[in-house]
Amino acid sequence: MSFILAGLLVNLKIVWTMKTDIYCDYSKHEFYLPQGDFCKRCDRCPPGFGLEQLKDRKVEFDPVHGALECRRCVACTNGCFSHSRSFKECKLCRNCTSEGRLELRQCTETSNAKCGNILPDISRQIKGKDLLKSGVVLHVPNTEDGNDIVYVLAAIIALLIVTIVTTIGLLYKNRKRLGFKKKIMKRGMCQCETCI
């Protein structure tokens, strides 16, 4: 009988140590359920919802059993989405405008934006920081064609400056030469007069 009692005590001790070794890890999306003395898996967040960030709320812990609760699911805010049941946070929506693409479908809480073809250079779109909140998109004409005019005008002005400087230089050079010839002619005249 003592053999059976000793066996029961050993089994009871094994069961007792097994029960106290239960540790529920929140990173594995489980929490401790004291009523059943076991770890229970958290529910996945439905589409349109994502896990709240840990910095926003602290999860309660028990030093022996680990997490006592799950991270909560929160609705995806504007500019974020979640398209399936998951243990993930909401993802940022794709920004077609910043990619230079046409937006075919806007981002919703349950689906990402769908982008189309690359926008032509003639009508680039720019979103300002303040306009990003309101969703207003400004269409700004491409200034590259205007740059061609600026380059042509700059070339014409540069050509005029070079022409003016060259002309002034030639006139100055010719004036010196003309003045030098006049002096020679005066000397020649004087010499001729003295000869006579």
Pick the CATH number of 1-92 from 3.10.129.10, 2.10.50.10, 3.90.1150.10, 1.20.950.20: 2.10.50.10
Tens digit of each residue's pLDDT (9 = 90 or more) over 102-113: 999 999 999 999
The rounded distance, in Å, linking the Cα atoms of 130 and 86 is 33
Higher pLDDT residue, 155 or 195?
A: 155
pLDDT value, residue 87: 92
Tens digit of each residue's pLDDT (9 = 90 or more) over 63-90: 888 888 888 999 999 999 999 999 999 9
Burial of 118-131, coded b for 16+ CB within 10 Å and e otherwise, reads ebeeeebbebeeee
Tens digit of each residue's pLDDT (9 = 90 or more) over 110-132: 999 999 988 876 444 444 444 44
Q: Where are the alpha helices (DSSP H) in the chain?
A: 2-20, 129-134, 144-195
Instruction: Find, among 91, 88, 143, the residue nearest to 113 by Cα.
Output: 91
The rounded distance, in Å, linking the Cα atoms of 158 and 153 is 9
Could you tell me the residue ranges of all domains in the chain? 1-92, 94-142, 143-196
Asked if residue 86 lies in contact with residue 44, where contact means CB atoms within 8 angstroms, the answer is yes
Give residue for tokens 């200034």. 143
Tens digit of each residue's pLDDT (9 = 90 or more) over 50-64: 998 877 667 788 888
pLDDT above 90: residue 8:
no
The rounded distance, in Å, linking the Cα atoms of 30 and 24 is 6
- Band (pLDDT 50/70/90 cuts) for residue 192 is very low
Instruction: Find, among 161, 178, 123, the residue nearest to 145 by Cα.
Output: 123
CB atoms within 10 A of CB 83: 14
Distances (CA, A) of 156 to 21, 145, 164, 166, 183: 87, 17, 12, 15, 40
